[in-house]
Chains A and B, each alone.
Chain A
């Protein structure tokens, strides 16, 4: 009789590990960490814009100008934009991977998500940081009270 070591059934072959970044793991973690921040950011945003004062009735250009006169709300809105858009886009990536089985369709959708995310991130950040509360093309009565030129 020969003695042979037979691997236990069902133990799978484990190839030597290559050191690679586990993007899926970081994406998974990102969904949870960003979610925690978004609870505070989004409910704060909804409270200030829809609940307090006159709610949605109060929102107009002057309302936005009043908020973005304060760096606090510029940072708040930037964080909310970046965290929510990437959270949503990564979630949509998961949904796309689940349902779009044809490779061409899947790659097209994933590409569209990536492109729209980058474009909207750049647009949104530019809007917040190039915002002019007293633009010269304003018609009367649309500017916040602190624009004295009109």
Chain B
């Protein structure tokens, strides 16, 4: 009787659970989809902002050398190329800060992890609003500076 020879105390197998496999990989909090891409973006923006901060502390320190030395360096920040760089920086900080708040809510809000996907959508929407508010202003300042209109 081969079926019964390896007798165990295990209960007879229950009916197979009826859970349908997802049609495609649904991801977890950190693998695939929003969870992973938000992490990738958070990491890239964090690193970029960090290197900017290193440079920014050094360029600001030039105020201790002389006013003309500082003005010379800061005038570089007013060129069209650097103006676009500042726009990119604000875009990066905007995402990092908003997604940072999402991370904090996932960790400390009791139902945060459950709503992480919705919060990611909100982060992206707020990010678009922020950039849409800042970009025209910055581009206007770049153009005015290029036309020779310094500060009023």
Contact = CB atoms under 8 A, between A and B. Distances in A.
Interface of A: 32, 35-36, 38-39, 42-43, 46, 50-51, 53-65, 81, 84-85, 88-89, 91-92, 95, 116, 120, 123-124, 126-127, 130-132, 135, 137-139, 142-143
Interface residues of B, number: 42
Interface of B: 43, 46-47, 49-50, 53-54, 57-58, 60-61, 63-64, 66-68, 70-71, 74, 77-78, 83, 86, 90, 93, 97, 100-101, 103-104, 107-108, 134, 137-138, 141, 144-145, 149-152
B67 A143 contact: yes
B71 A142 contact: yes
A58 B71 CA distance: 11
Contacts of B68: 61, 138-139, 142
A50 B138 contact: yes
B101 A39 contact: yes
B42 to A, nearest CB: 9
Given A56-B141, A91-B46, A32 B107 contact: yes
B43 A60 contact: no
Given A39-B100, A56-B83, A92-B50, A127 B151 contact: no
Given A55-B137, A88-B50, A95-B43, A39 B67 contact: no
Contact of B151 (A51, A54, A64): A54
B47 A123 contact: no
A43 B74 CA distance: 20
B57 A60 contact: no
Contacts of B101: 35-36, 39
B53 A60 contact: no
A92 B100 contact: no
Given A38-B97, A55-B141, A131 B74 contact: no
